[in-house]
Amino acid sequence: MRRSTRKNSMTSAGLTGRQTSPSGPNRPLGPPMSQPSSGAHPDGPPPGLPCTHRGAVLPEWIDYNGHMNVAYYVVLLDHGADGFIDLVGMGGEFMKRHQLSTFAIDARIVYRRELMVNAPVNCYSHLLDHDEKRMQVGNYLAHAEEGWFAAYSEWVYVQIDLKTRRSARFRPEIMAQIAELYAAHRLIPRPAALERPFGLGRPAASAS
């Protein structure tokens, strides 16, 4: 996963994070907002999640169906994931100082609603689980004005020592940040609609 190079701050339930790295040339959208998700829309993200990215659907992202192409949902969700990595203190400056980064090792994306050109969007991130090396993070892509979420992703990340290219345990100060955030996020429900298994929802055909 591409690491964030933004400079901004965000607030979530149980944790405040601040980024210290400069703006990057490959991030066309804006910084995250400080307001967490409100839960005001019945089809929106759960309340209390940090906003980890905000932006809008660019004209060049619209495909032949007249809506944002599936690939750019991933781009926006990845920007939110980068913001989450910054939130727990593992952004660009941390990576340079300690030669530690995070790699995605598993992912799932659920597409729920269309997004049209110029639609304002926010990403909200949810720490679902963690251990000494890994984090499971959910990311919601929501319409910033109407409140409903258009897509949801889950990624499993592992911390990697860039000197050895092998997995590495989180540093104590990072583990403390992750544990503090998880203590708040573990109480936030995950929408039941996202618990469905991948596939068409019917029994697999047996081999004849």
Residue 204 domain-assigned (yes or no) = no
Residue 199 domain-assigned (yes or no) = no
CATH of the domain at 16: 3.10.129.10
Give the range of the structural domain holding residue 52, as residue numbers without chain letter: 9-194
Identify which of 127, 107, 112 has the alpha carbon closest to the alpha carbon of residue 49: 127
Residue 103 domain-assigned (yes or no) = yes
- 2 pLDDT higher than 50: no
pLDDT score recorded for residue 198? 76
Residue 169 domain-assigned (yes or no) = yes
Residue 207 domain-assigned (yes or no) = no
In order, the DSSP letters of 29-46 are: S-PPPSPPP---STTSPP
Number of separate domains in the chain = 1
Residue 2 domain-assigned (yes or no) = no
User: pLDDT tens for residues 34-92?
Assistant: 456 666 677 889 989 999 999 999 999 999 999 999 999 999 999 999 999 999 999 99
Residue 208 domain-assigned (yes or no) = no
Residue 4 domain-assigned (yes or no) = no
User: pLDDT tens for residues 115-166?
Assistant: 999 999 999 999 999 999 999 999 999 999 999 999 999 999 999 999 999 9
Core vs surface per residue 166-202: b (16+ CB within 10 A) or e? eebebeeebbebbeebbebbeebeeeeeeeeeeeeee
Verdict on whether the full-model pTM lies above 0.85 = no
Q: Which residues contact 197 (CB under 8 A, 6 or more apart)?
A: none
Residue type, 208: S
- 207 pLDDT higher than 50: yes
Q: What is the DSSP letter of 92?
A: H
